[in-house]
Structure 1
């Protein structure tokens, strides 16, 4: 990749469903940092399009994509809590195509999400859960001001003898 990679960060649209789904399927198939495994994830492009549309119709939710030369290469989604006493907060998920990792795109997507949350009077807290083994992501979140608020011990069982903790992090906006 070129050091002068030119990319655009924007709110997702329904037309991005195929690319968003392809990235999600690829990340899940890597099997390293995602809760679902490939055979559990069978969302269709139409379901993905409806999911994106539902996010965009909710004032407390959003999905933002990064694109290079018109191709979506990463995305971040923020989903809110439905209950009234929890509606001031939500959590996000972030996925980047393998060949575009390590170039600062995740940081740009997260910055765009935080800017959106800070400008949104309905959102006060941005949260996430991250595998304790995902050191690159944890480092990014800490650089962006997120703080660990808890840990679920052995939350995920990767195989018969390997467990991973779920680190819970947050940032007030």
Structure 2
């Protein structure tokens, strides 16, 4: 598939930002962004001490995505700063290769300003153009109401719930909501 062009967006407060494919040269800033997000967000399934990725490993991951048409790594950029990321992978097994999953994160200061919506709309545009992708799936913590609202407003529907799937450091449980988006509604 061809490269997605750099696309400009405006935040709700009018500031301009861009969505583009990550490049190998973004590896260091992506690594720092990811570490910050893991520290900031209570909604991720990884603890800060569990994230052990080196600069070289990050660079290799970005390069692998660039070389694989079944993967996507988008970044939202404000000035020179990465403020959001979205990674998507098509399932590798033949029977489910029409599906894919994604993860998305936005810097704390830029949440609620339209960055997540722009990343998600960029994914959906890419998915519509992909020759194999028919369904996008995700899991989101039930307590992450803002994300659930965003996904529903983009056309994702709840498919199920994994009860008490996540246990935090305070021994409190949360459910994982399973959501999906179909490109071809005739199969539903």
TM-score by length of 1: 0.95
- CA distance in 2 between counterparts of 1:112 and 1:5 reads 18
Q: Which runs of 5+ in 1 are unaligned?
A: none
- CA distance in 1 between counterparts of 2:13 and 2:132 reads 37
- Give the alignment of 1:139-150 within 5 angstroms: 139-150=149-160
TM-score by length of 2: 0.87
- Give the alignment of 1:79-158 within 5 angstroms: 79-158=89-168
**Cα offsets for 1:41-92 (capped at 9, x unmatched):** 1111211111111112111110111111122211111012111111111111
Which residue of the other structure, out of 46, 53, 62, is the alignment partner of 2:63? 53
Which residue of the other structure, out of 17, 36, 42, is the alignment partner of 1:32? 42
Distance 1:40 1:69, change over 3 A: same
How many angstroms does 1:18 deviate by? 1.6
Structure 1 outlier segments of 4+, above 4 Å: none
Root-mean-square deviation (Å): 1.5
| 1:123 alignment partner, SS class | coil
- CA distance in 2 between counterparts of 1:124 and 1:93 reads 17
How many angstroms does 1:161 deviate by? 3.3
How many angstroms does 1:23 deviate by? 1.8
Tell me, yes or no, if the aligned pair for 1:23 and 1:95 is still in contact at 8 Å.
no
Q: Which runs of 5+ in 2 are unaligned?
A: 1-10, 184-188
Tell me, yes or no, if the aligned pair for 1:20 and 1:74 is still in contact at 8 Å.
no
**Number of equivalent positions:** 173
